[in-house]
Amino acid sequence: MASFSSPCLSKQQWFVLFIITFFSLVSRKRCYKSIISFGDSLADTGNLVILLQPNVSPSALPPYGETYFNRPTGRFSDGRLVIDFFAQKFGLPLVPPYFGACNGSNQQFLKGVNFAVAGATALDNAFLAQKGIFNRVTNVSLGVQVGLFKKLLPSLCLGNSLILMGEIGGNDFNYAFFQGIKIEVIRGLVPDVLNVISSAILELIKLGAVTFLVPGNLPIGCQPIYLTSFQTSNLQDYDRSGCLIWLNKFSEYYNGMLKQELNQIRRLHPRANIVYADYYQAAVQFYRSPSQFGFNSTLIACCGGGGPYNYNFSVGCASAGSKSCDDPSSYVSWDGIHLTERAYSLISKAILDGSRTVPRVKIPSAASD
Ligand SMILES: *[C@@H]1O[C@H](CO)[C@@H](O)[C@H](O)[C@H]1NC(C)=O
Ligand SMILES: *[C@@H]1O[C@H](CO)[C@@H](O)[C@H](O)[C@H]1NC(C)=O
Ligand SMILES: *[C@@H]1O[C@H](CO)[C@@H](O)[C@H](O)[C@H]1NC(C)=O
Ligand SMILES: *[C@@H]1O[C@H](CO)[C@@H](O)[C@H](O)[C@H]1NC(C)=O
């Protein structure tokens, strides 16, 4: 190792020092004592199901949950989500849904709490409505989630927690795309969405949070719901994987802006560990080389109401008339909007081993202590 008595380090020595400092910062907490999660259906472990009562969320019906839990749990998949794989890797209990608490005790949240609600947006419903975009699923936007968290705060220790911030923001764009808003207008929403995410992170840093994992958006142009809605006879709109190029370009644009936003927060708060989780790059590989990952079907949903991508807006997975595949593990898409447990498992691996994070860091886990 270089001698640190010399005040002048070579570029290479500085680099080594930087790397060591970086890794010691990231692994300062050898294992997380809890996971605190904000987001939407990609991370919802049961909130929407509770909030929607007496109305029934499809995720409360079979075949949702069939693979791992053998029953619907409110998760929008056949089994576990990325957040579940994280919890299991850290030796923590599966992160309980905040709205599942019925006795007002915070004790149950010492090892984690999940505010993510399927259908949630980053921006408040009122703000979106001004732009002609309507969220008819839930009003528990990111700001509301952070507000609920603050009420719970006294009982939680933030320094040892992994904050999973997202994925959130995807629905702001989903609602806009499916409600016929023009792409230019949707691109205009990106700074607003980033502003909300950034404010949430800054607020949590102020409250003592140190480590954040911030996932970006998935390749929406490969999702059956988008492939169905924006189907076209213009073959040039599709890439070699059969995904819609212009929609994936939107995801890339948004993710690029998100990464820049995170850079800015890092500059303001060099002691915070802010890790971008590249769900996009992790998932896009499935479409490019399906057989390498053991997928048979990438663009057709396992569970849905038929049509070329087994997706039909009026016949969703779990509703009368929908069909489900025999082997969800050979599919990327579970219900046309959400991924299968197998896909989420592969994404979580790519995030935890650092191959799909920015910066490239291995997220310390209980197992590696
Ligand atoms: C209340 O929460 C505590 C802590 O998780 C749990 O042990 C207890 O069973 C709960 N009581 C009821 C009535 O749900
Ligand atoms: C959200 O919706 C619920 C139920 O419709 C309502 O009780 C609540 O006041 C709303 N919250 C906000 C912040 O608008
Ligand atoms: C993929 O699916 C097709 C159609 O269901 C089936 O015929 C084929 O055997 C499957 N291939 C693999 C490798 O599972
Ligand atoms: C969706 O399902 C409905 C009801 O079965 C059917 O009438 C409609 O044609 C389907 N749409 C497409 C695009 O397949």
For the cut 50, the answer to whether the pLDDT of residue 366 exceeds it is no
Please indicate, yes or no, if residue 65 is contained in any of the structural domains: yes
Please indicate, yes or no, if residue 318 is contained in any of the structural domains: no
- Pair 49, 169: CB distance under 8 Å: no
Please indicate, yes or no, if residue 17 is contained in any of the structural domains: no
Q: What pLDDT is recorded for position 29? A: 43
- CA dist 104 and 55 (Å) reads 23
Which value, to the nearest 10 degrees, does the dihedral of the CA atoms of residues 69, 71, 73, 74 take? 130
Please indicate, yes or no, if residue 182 is contained in any of the structural domains: yes
Q: Judge whether 338 counts as a catalytic residue.
A: yes
How many domains does the structure of the chain reveal? 1
Q: Whose CA is nearest to atom 13 of ligand 1?
A: 103
Mean pLDDT within 31-50: 94
- Three-state SS across 259-306? HHHHHHHHHHCCCCEEEEECHHHHHHHHHHCHHHHCCCECCCCCEECC
Nearest partner of 38 among 136, 176, 150, judged by Cα: 150
Q: With a 6 A CB cut-off, is 50 part of the ligand 2 pocket?
A: no
Please indicate, yes or no, if residue 331 is contained in any of the structural domains: no
Please indicate, yes or no, if residue 72 is contained in any of the structural domains: yes
For the cut 90, the answer to whether the pLDDT of residue 297 exceeds it is yes
Please indicate, yes or no, if residue 57 is contained in any of the structural domains: yes
Q: How big is the CA angle at 180 (ends 176 and 184), to the nearest 5 degrees?
A: 70
Residue type, 190: V
Q: With a 6 A CB cut-off, is 107 part of the ligand 1 pocket?
A: yes
Q: With a 6 A CB cut-off, is 296 part of the ligand 3 pocket?
A: yes
Query: Nearest 5°: phi and psi at 346?
Result: -65, -40
Residue 157 belongs to domain with CATH number: 3.40.50.1110
262: CB partners within 8 A, 6+ apart: 214, 274, 276, 358
Q: Whose CA is nearest to atom 1 of ligand 2?
A: 139
Residue type, 225: I
Please indicate, yes or no, if residue 237 is contained in any of the structural domains: no
Give me the domain span that covers residue 142. Answer: 31-222+244-280+339-358
Please identify which residue in the block is written with the tokens 């102020």: 206
Each residue's pLDDT tens digit, 101-156: 664 556 678 889 999 999 999 999 999 999 999 999 999 999 999 999 998 876 67
- CA dist 236 and 251 (Å) reads 19
Other CB atoms within 10 Å distance of the CB of residue 170 = 26
Q: Judge whether 269 counts as a catalytic residue.
A: no
Q: Using DSSP, state whether 4 is helix, strand or coil.
A: coil
Residue with the bigger pLDDT between 151 and 367: it is: 151
Q: Find the ligand nearest to 93 CA.
A: 1
Residue type, 136: R
Q: Find the ligand nearest to 155 CA.
A: 1
What is the pTM assigned to this prediction? 0.88
CA of 173 to the centre of ligand 2 (A): 22
Q: Judge whether 278 counts as a catalytic residue.
A: no
